[in-house]
């Protein structure tokens, strides 16, 4: 840093001296305490927010680049966290951090607006899958970047992109993920919830799911019951072309649910999987059978914004709180598609927590078939 610059910028001089002293003490002490890391990161951010000329800013960046190169991992992590949300962070410094080990690069790859598409595409081509998976969680991505990520064929990158509801997936990415989903349940479920998934791709996935289910059913039910399940799966496929708000299960769905219940095959996981796949009518039939409740009562339950009825049924049937939360969240489309607020979720969980198992059983028995 030139003397002229320091004379013109006493604030920069003070911060640089402080940075040097703190960094020296940090290295000598070897304690690496969080408060020391935070203080060093704060000084760096303060230097970058000074109102200086472009040339002076480059000189400051040179100093910080030199320091970061020598820094230990925990300090780099603290710096990366702080700089990841700065819109005016130096490009050179951000790119340096983005190409570091993933535990340093992750916040920058996920959040930094300084990184442009070509920077990110280069990182995809030059780094390993952990970097791809972090990039797939960004809130803004171009179609080109999405396609490059899809072409990696990495399962977790595909899952992160598919779960990223802020971006719109390209046709190329959807086609690639639909093919991958044939052998990945973790990808199949979120992919089927994407609004932009073309109907032909969705139908192909549902047909594959139905084929898998038929294979599982043939191993677990008597031959004379298989026709019932085949009919149900055909009806589930037909549901794709129906208004999801109808929610009216067929007699075959109810019959299949009862067979599963008698065989001990009906549980919370099975019902939640149906919700993930958008099989709302079949879920209604299964939940009705599982809780011994009339179909109409269950339909009213899932429409309740307060979720009190569902909380009572789940508590009475010893359905885990985590499963109750999943059911509540995944039936939101049946409540007019209202976006759930954090307060809505807190109220639902609070009701589940407050009601005792005995009280829930008493209420459920009064509503039973």
More confident residue, 23 or 88: 88
| Tokens matching residue 224 | 């004379």
pLDDT band at 6 (very low <50, low <70, confident <90, very high): very low
Residue 298 domain-assigned (yes or no)? yes
Q: Tell me, what's the pLDDT at 89? A: 84
* 18-32, 248-262, 266-280, 311-325: least confident range: 18-32
Residues 108 and 226 in one domain: no
Residues 111 and 229 in one domain: no
Cα–Cα separations (whole angstroms), residue 298 to 90, 96, 171, 270, 309: 56, 55, 37, 17, 8
Last residue of a domain, one of 115, 131, 152: 115
Q: Per-residue DSSP letters for 285-322?
A: HHHHHHHT--HHHHHHHHH-SS-HHHHHHHHHTT--HH
pLDDT band at 30 (very low <50, low <70, confident <90, very high): very low
Task: Kindly report the average pLDDT of the chain as a whole number.
Answer: 80
Q: Tell me, what's the pLDDT at 64? A: 72
Highest mean pLDDT among 29-38, 72-81, 268-277: 268-277
Residue 166 domain-assigned (yes or no)? no
Residue 69 domain-assigned (yes or no)? yes
Residues 227 and 94 in one domain: no
pLDDT band at 1 (very low <50, low <70, confident <90, very high): very low
Question: How far apart are the C-alpha atoms of 332 and 340, rounded to whole Å?
Answer: 7
How many Å is the Cα radius of gyration of the chain?
Answer: 28
Q: Per-residue DSSP letters for 194-233?
A: -TTS-HHHHHHHHHHHHHHHHHHHHHHS-HHHHHHHHHHH
Structural domain of 316: 221-367
Residues 228 and 94 in one domain: no
Mean pLDDT of 183-188: 84
| Number of structural domains found in the chain | 2
Residues 360 and 228 in one domain: yes
Last residue of a domain, one of 52, 87, 115: 115
Residue 249 domain-assigned (yes or no)? yes
* 36-50, 118-132, 283-297, 311-325: least confident range: 36-50
Residue 125 domain-assigned (yes or no)? no
pLDDT at residue 107 above 90?
yes
| Tokens matching residue 303 | 């429409």
Q: Tell me, what's the pLDDT at 85? A: 87
Q: Tell me, what's the pLDDT at 73? A: 77
Mean pLDDT of 256-264: 88
pLDDT band at 233 (very low <50, low <70, confident <90, very high): low
More confident residue, 92 or 51: 92
Residues 96 and 230 in one domain: no
* 142-151, 176-185, 318-327, 337-346: least confident range: 337-346
Residue 182 domain-assigned (yes or no)? no
Which tens digits make up the pLDDT trace of 129-177? 999 999 999 999 999 999 999 999 999 999 999 999 899 999 999 999 9
Q: Tell me, what's the pLDDT at 167? A: 94
Last residue of a domain, one of 115, 133, 164: 115
pLDDT at residue 65 above 90?
no
Question: How far apart are the C-alpha atoms of 177 and 195, rounded to whole Å?
Answer: 14
pLDDT band at 183 (very low <50, low <70, confident <90, very high): confident
* 5-19, 152-166, 251-265: least confident range: 5-19
Residues 105 and 230 in one domain: no
Mean pLDDT of 200-221: 65
Residue 37 domain-assigned (yes or no)? yes
DSSP3 helix / strand / coil % (the chain, rounded to 5): 70, 0, 30
Whether residue 287 contacts residue 268, with contact meaning beta carbons closer than 8 Å, is answered with no
More confident residue, 88 or 142: 142
More confident residue, 232 or 361: 361
Cβ–Cβ contacts within 10 Å for residue 325, how many?
16
Residue 202 domain-assigned (yes or no)? no
Q: Tell me, what's the pLDDT at 90? A: 84
More confident residue, 338 or 152: 152
């Amino acid at each position: 840093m030139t003397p002229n610059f320091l004379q013109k910028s006493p604030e920069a001089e003070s911060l640089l001296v402080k940075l040097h002293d703190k960094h020296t003490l940090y290295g000598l002490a070897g304690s690496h305490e969080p408060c020391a890391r935070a203080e060093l990161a704060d000084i760096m951010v303060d230097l970058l927010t000074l109102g200086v000329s472009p040339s002076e800013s480059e000189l400051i960046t040179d100093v910080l680049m030199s320091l970061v190169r020598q820094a230990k991992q925990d300090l780099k992590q603290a710096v990366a966290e702080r700089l990841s949300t700065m819109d005016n962070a130096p490009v050179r410094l951000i790119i340096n951090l983005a190409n570091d080990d993933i535990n340093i690069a992750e916040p920058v790859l996920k959040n930094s607006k300084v990184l442009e598409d070509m920077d990110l595409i280069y990182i995809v081509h030059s780094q390993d899958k952990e970097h791809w998976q972090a990039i797939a969680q960004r809130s803004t991505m171009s179609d080109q970047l999405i396609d490059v990520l899809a072409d990696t064929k990495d399962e977790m990158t595909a899952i992160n992109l598919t779960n990223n509801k802020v971006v719109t997936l390209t046709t190329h990415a959807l086609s690639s993920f639909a093919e991958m989903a044939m052998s990945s349940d973790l990808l199949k479920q979120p992919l089927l919830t994407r609004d932009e998934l073309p109907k032909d791709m969705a139908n192909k996935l549902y047909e594959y799911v139905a084929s898998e289910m038929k294979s599982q059913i043939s191993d677990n039910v008597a031959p004379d019951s298989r026709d019932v399940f085949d009919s149900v799966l055909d009806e589930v496929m037909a549901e794709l072309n129906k208004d999801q708000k109808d929610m009216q299960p067929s007699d075959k769905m109810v019959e299949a649910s009862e067979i599963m219940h008698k065989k001990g095959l009906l549980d919370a996981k099975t019902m939640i999987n149906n919700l993930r796949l958008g099989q709302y009518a079949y879920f209604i039939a299964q939940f009705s059978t599982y809780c011994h409740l009339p179909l109409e009562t269950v339909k009213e339950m899932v429409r309740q914004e307060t979720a009190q009825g569902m909380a009572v049924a789940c508590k009475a049937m010893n359905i885990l709180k985590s499963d109750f939360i999943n059911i509540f969240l995944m039936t939101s489309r049946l409540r007019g598609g209202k976006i759930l607020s954090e307060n809505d979720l807190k109220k639902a969980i609070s009701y589940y927590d407050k009601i005792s198992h005995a009280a829930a059983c008493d209420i459920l028995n009064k509503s039973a078939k």
